[in-house]
Amino acid sequence: MQTRRILIAAALSALALTALPAAASARPAASCAGTAADLTVHGDLLVPPGASCRLTRVTVTGRVTVAPGANLVLETTTVHGGLAAESNAFVAAEASTVRGRVRLTAAYGLDAHGGRLHAPVTAENTGFLYATGTALDSLTSTGGETYLASARVDGRVSTRDDRFTDLDDTVVLGSLSITGPAQGARLCASEVDGDVTVTGARGPVRVGGDCGYAVLGARLTLTANAAVDVTGSTVRGPLSCRDNATAPTGGGNRLRGGASGQCATLSASPPALAGGRAYADIAARLASALAAATGPAF
């Protein structure tokens, strides 16, 4: 975290927060390139293409748009509207609140620590979506990386064709649907109240085990995955496994809804899956993104 703060401070330039002349029909978006602290932005905010904007203890009453190639760092900041990050845009949020929808479209990525995202979060073909200690409404990701740690999701989590989808020490009150992760998926020390479905993972799928047991409140369905391990976990609904490339492994589970298919008799042998995961180096990605947009302030 200290490295991350040093990189942010080194990469961002001095304050430049401006707005276009007022129009009769609507307030124009303010334009931010540089740093701003302890103020209120009335209306919408734009981080222009290629610019970097750092907001500390700022309130934005409208929506925020991070244009292509731009970077936005929020620190103890509140956005009352939505947040949109466009192609190759990067967003880092520390202890911040966004009340409207968050949409990432071919963005570089979103890294959130603490705070709350009150409305649905959608990431399409975005590099990564990482949330640590963050409360979210719901989350949908396609073609990225999803990592939730010590997070809480009030609704559902759905990912498709991610590189991986991992949950550590996380609570999901809705359902969890994971389809086609190239490097697999992990549910570690986490609780999911709704149905859990993992389908077509080309890497290993781990539920519980040495990374911490999982508690699943409804059905668990594991279909057509490369490898599966379910160890030391509680599944309150039916456990169903079919068409997985190898017989699922695991043991020491509490299967209150019974088990069927390939999971009718789990192997008692030690798990055959590697437990490690090489997550994105956020510090390096942050430095790279900001280094490309450190021109003079507007």
pLDDT digit string (tens) for the chain, length 298 residues: 444 444 444 444 444 444 434 443 357 889 999 889 999 999 999 999 999 999 999 999 999 999 999 999 999 999 999 999 999 999 999 999 999 999 999 999 999 999 999 999 999 999 999 999 999 999 999 999 999 999 999 999 999 999 999 999 999 999 999 999 999 999 999 999 999 999 999 999 999 998 899 999 999 999 999 999 999 999 999 999 999 999 899 999 999 999 999 999 876 554 445 546 666 666 765 665 556 445 433 2
DSSP 3-state of 8:
helix
Strand pairing report for 249-251 and 30-32: unpaired
Structure tokens of 102? 């968050």
42, 63 Cβ separation under 8 angstroms: no
Give the CA radius of gyration of the chain. 21
Q: What pLDDT, on the 0 to 100 scale, is given for residue 140?
A: 98
Structure tokens of 222? 């594991």
Q: How far apart are the first and last CA of the chain?
A: 29
Cα–Cα distance between 24 and 214 in angstroms, integer?
56
Structure tokens of 205? 């799928």
pTM, two decimals, is: 0.86
Please report which helix (H) or strand (E) contains residue 282, including its range: helix 282-291
Q: What pLDDT, on the 0 to 100 scale, is given for residue 277?
A: 62
Cα–Cα distance between 99 and 49 in angstroms, integer?
24
Check the CA dihedral 178-202-255-221 and report its sign. Answer: positive
CB atoms < 10 A from the CB of 2, how many?
Answer: 7
